[in-house]
Structure formats: structure tokens, C-alpha cells
Amino acid sequence: MKDKFVILVFLVCIFHITASICLATDWCNEYVDKKQYNLAVKACTERIGKGMPEAVNYYNRGTAYLNIGEQTKAIEDFYNSISLAPDSFAAYNNRGSTYAVLGELQKAIPDFNKSAEL
């Protein structure tokens, strides 16, 4: 009986951890879609901090950073997203947009070209 209880507790813990990770990803995307960028940064950071550094999480957090004026952090996240998903035209496009906002057109143009190529 004790073994069954231990297994049940283990399964409940696994379900809880898995559910919280999934919910963090959903909120990360949801907040970006709703233009709630500060909440998106928090949700995406939580997801990345849980050992799930997926390209989409860096992309979404970079998009949030771009929209709240944190261009340096946005560029770093777009670099991370591209390193994990080098065929992401959106990450190249947003990194190019960030460089353009900073007036660094010599860096923006290659990213825009790569985005169009993909």
C-alpha cells in the first residue's frame, strides 16, 4: 500500500511540474499576443529559467523587450532564438527591426535580407 501511495504522490508531482511548465509557455505567448509585454518578459523568463530554453521563448521575450524599449536585451534574445532555430525568418526580422530602431542600419540590412531569403 505504501508503494502505491509513493507512486501516486510522484505522479501528482510530475503532473504539477509539467502543467506549470506548459502554462508558463502558454502565458508567454498569450501576453505577447495581448501586448502585455512586462508580463510576457516575466512568463518567458520563468520558462527559460526552468531549463526549457526553446527558440520561441527567446523570440517572444525578445519581442516583448523590443516593445518596452529594452533593445539591448531584445537583440540578445533574438541572437539566442536564431542560434536555436537558424531558419526563423521572424527572429531575423525582429533583430533587424531592433537594429533599425537603434539606428544601426549596417547591422539591420543583413538581418532583413536573411529574413526575406528564408
- Assigned domain for 84 exists: yes
Which grid cell is 34? 495581448
* Residue 35 is assigned to a structural domain of this protein: no
Which of the residue ranges 13-27, 35-49, 59-73, 95-109 would you say has the lowest mean pLDDT? Answer: 13-27
| 34 in a structural domain | no
Which structural domain, as residue segments, surrounds residue 103? 22-27+41-117
In a domain, 92, yes or no: yes
Query: pTM to 2 decimals?
Result: 0.78
Supply the CATH number for residue 113's domain: 1.25.40.10
Higher-scoring residue by pLDDT: 10, 101: 101
CB-based contact 64:44 (threshold 8 Å): yes
Is residue 15 in a domain?
A: no
Residue 12 inside a domain? The answer is: no
How many folded domains does the chain comprise? Answer: 1
Task: Output DSSP code: residue 104.
Answer: -
Could you tell me what percent of the chain has a pLDDT over 90?
68
* pLDDT of 112 strictly over 80: yes
Q: Is residue 13 part of a domain?
A: no
90-96: long-range contacts (C-beta < 8 A, 24 or more apart)?
A: 90/59, 90/115, 91/55, 91/59, 91/62, 92/118, 94/59, 94/62, 94/63, 94/66, 95/62
* 32: in domain: no
